[in-house]
């Protein structure tokens, strides 16, 4: 099966393979375990585009000695931005890569239909082909499971050398079905009440930019039953983009400074108290 390639967008997760670091178990059951080789996973700083408020990390190797046990993946590992997870449960050897997925909520019991016809946790225990099918053809299921606030990457082939320090950097892309043209507008209708975290991809952000001007993107709620708590904007490399957030008016403002990327991601946190509440996203307004 052809492997799915994900664009290197947004926040960076460093995977540091080292010896003699604290062991933290997450219920993985490999045939191999040694205190001599450890793997340390550290989420990037909070300024990067990690879903704020904490979440769960899933790590699924492709090929290699780790992918043959009764539970050939690590997770759910509860982590927040800046946290470190360390394990001795990854054996030295050559791997075809790793699937790394971060979600604000646990996804193991979320059901996948179609050809897979099983919970996500069972798919992660299945063959590499099934895992790549899940994060490829069935990516809409993953988006739904993470409530459009997860992040995903697949790495290149990796060799873990026993007793040596091995470092691997991967860049994760938000897993979201929400996107809109910066020259238009967008709205999200929340059928469930409560607290929400979302990524929204905004493309054509640099269209027809006039040097010396500023472009504004606003996110607002016309109903007083919606409270917007957090708003952030990120470039493709995961760094933050200048923005002003005015919580009193439930409005976020994105300002351009002449070197605008084509694609930007909006990260929003808000609370709805009435079913079918609507949050509005408007972009493209020029300010001189």
Domain coordinates in residue numbering, the chain: 12-175, 179-287
Q: 206-222, pLDDT tens digit by residue?
A: 776 666 666 777 888 77
Give pLDDT, residue 13: 45
pLDDT of residue 128: 92
Q: pLDDT band for 261, please (50, 70, 90 cuts).
A: confident
Spatial distance between the Cα atoms of 234 and 269, rounded to a whole number of angstroms:
15
Which of the four pLDDT bands, split at 50, 70 and 90, describes residue 11?
Answer: very low
Beta bridge partners of 10: none
| pLDDT (0 to 100) of residue 9 | 34
> Residue 2's pLDDT is what?
34
Residue with tokens 């062991």: 23
Q: Contact, 259 vs 208, CB < 8 A?
A: no
Give the pLDDT confidence of 92-121 residue by residue, as tens digits: 888 898 898 989 899 999 988 888 999 999
Q: How confident is the model at residue 236 (pLDDT cuts 50, 70, 90)?
A: confident
Distance CA 73, CA 69 (A): 9
Share of the chain above pLDDT 70, in %: 67
So what's the pLDDT on residue 17? 36
Q: Give the pLDDT confidence score for residue 56 in this predicted structure.
A: 92
What is the strand order of the sheet 12-18 is part of?
A: 84-87, 38-43, 12-18, 166-171
Q: Residue 20: its pLDDT value, please?
A: 30
* Average of per-residue pLDDT across 242-250: 70
CA distance 92 to 281: 47
Looking at residue 87, its pLDDT comes to 73
Q: Are 131 and 123 in contact (CB under 8 A)?
A: yes
Task: Name 163's Cβ contacts closer than 8 Å, sequence gap at least 6.
Answer: 19, 36, 37
Give percent of the chain above pLDDT 90: 18
Residue 113 CB neighbours (<10 A)? 9
- The pLDDT of residue 44: 58
The structure tokens listed for 216 are 């504004």
For residue 139, the SS3 value is helix
Mean pLDDT of 266-276: 88
Q: What is the pLDDT of residues 131-182, one digit of tens each?
A: 999 999 999 989 988 999 988 888 888 888 787 766 766 667 788 899 998 8
Residue 196 has pLDDT above 80, yes or no: yes
Q: Specify the fold of 179-287.
A: Jelly Rolls (2.60.120)
Cα separation, 48 vs 281, in Å, equals 22
Query: Tens digit of pLDDT for each residue in 46-67?
Result: 445 566 678 898 999 898 775 5
For residue 142 the two structure tokens come to 């993953």
Give the model's pLDDT for residue 221. 76
Instruction: Tell me what the pLDDT averaged over the chain comes to.
Output: 75
């Amino acid at each position: 099966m052809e492997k799915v390639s994900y664009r290197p967008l947004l926040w960076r997760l460093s995977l540091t393979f080292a010896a003699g670091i604290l062991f933290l178990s997450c219920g993985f059951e490999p045939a191999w375990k040694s205190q001599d080789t450890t793997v340390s996973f550290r989420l990037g700083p909070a300024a990067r585009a990690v879903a704020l408020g904490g979440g769960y990390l899933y790590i699924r190797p492709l090929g290699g000695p780790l992918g043959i046990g009764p539970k050939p993946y690590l997770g759910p590992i509860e982590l927040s931005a800046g946290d470190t997870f360390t394990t001795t449960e990854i054996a030295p050897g050559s791997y075809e890569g790793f699937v790394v997925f971060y979600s604000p909520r646990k996804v193991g019991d979320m059901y996948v239909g179609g050809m897979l016809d099983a919970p996500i946790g069972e798919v992660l225990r299945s063959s590499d082909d099934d895992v790549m099918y899940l994060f490829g053809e069935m990516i809409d299921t993953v988006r739904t499971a993470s409530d459009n606030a997860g992040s995903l990457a697949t790495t290149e082939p990796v060799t873990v050398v026993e007793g040596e320090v091995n470092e691997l950097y991967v860049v994760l892309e938000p897993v979201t079905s929400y996107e809109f043209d910066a020259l238009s507008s967008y709205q999200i209708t929340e059928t469930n009440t409560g607290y929400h975290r979302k990524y929204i991809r905004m493309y054509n952000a640099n269209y027809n930019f006039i040097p010396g001007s500023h472009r504004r993107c606003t996110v607002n709620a016309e109903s007083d039953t919606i409270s917007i708590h957090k708003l952030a904007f990120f470039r493709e490399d995961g760094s933050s983009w200048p923005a002003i957030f005015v919580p009193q008016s439930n409005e976020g403002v994105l300002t351009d400074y002449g070197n605008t990327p084509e694609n930007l991601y909006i990260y929003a946190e808000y609370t709805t108290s009435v079913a079918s509440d609507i949050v509005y996203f408007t972009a493209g307004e020029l300010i001189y």
